[in-house]
Amino acid sequence: MAGCCDNHCSLDRMRERQRGTLQIVLAINAAMFFVIAGAAVYGKSTSLLADSLDNLGDALTYGLSLYAVTKDTNVKAKVALFKGVLIGLASVTVIAQIVYKLFVPALPIFEVMGIFSLLGLFANGLCLFLLWRHRHEDVNMSSVWECSRNDIASNLSVFIAAGAVWLTDTGWPDIVVAIGLVLLLMRSAVRVISTARKELRQ
């Protein structure tokens, strides 16, 4: 009996830690979406827009993950499946923006791209640090970790694109990096959906 109590209490403590971490990273990503989306529109940057949509997707992901913390494995797998679909939809949105930029080209403001990509890198680095200890706990937290890890690559890519825009004085580096971010988002979506479907079949 004591052993069952210990296991139950341990599970409750883990869920409480997960809930606390998710609340923090949810707030960070929701705030960063508005900040970076505004910067993307002002700076005419498709890659920065992709970065902001990634933050929005993460905020929704963390909100769903917060809901799933106390649920059983089946519910967590379904939530992870939905998160994978959200990531896929974000990639479709960026593709539409890329196509638009091909027909209506505009030179991004590289200073805006550089400054806000570094701001995003700092915020997402903090999220990654907070989520590190949860990355192997269950399918729910594993998918959250996947999203956060992608954010670091996105921020670094946008920063590199800013430098390339400055060097070349063209908008092509912004579009190329945006395409790379789309591929990253799609790869992440496939991985999260695949993992969730495996959990649902068990």
Q: Nearest to residue 127, comparing CAs of 21, 56, 30?
A: 21
Residue type present at position 97: Q
Over residues 28-41, mean pLDDT: 92
Over residues 43-66, mean pLDDT: 81
pLDDT given at position 12: 65
Percentage with pLDDT > 70 across the chain? 88
Give pTM, 2 decimals.
Answer: 0.76
**In Å, what is the CA distance from 44 to each residue of 54, 105, 192?**
17, 10, 31
Asked which of 27-31, 126-130, 175-179, 195-199 is least confident by mean pLDDT, the reply is 195-199
Note the pLDDT tens digit of each residue in 119-160.
999 998 998 888 888 777 666 677 777 777 778 888 999 999
pLDDT given at position 70: 66
DSSP state of 133: G
Going by pLDDT thresholds of 50, 70 and 90, the confidence category of residue 183 is confident
Q: Nearest to residue 154, comparing CAs of 128, 181, 114?
A: 181
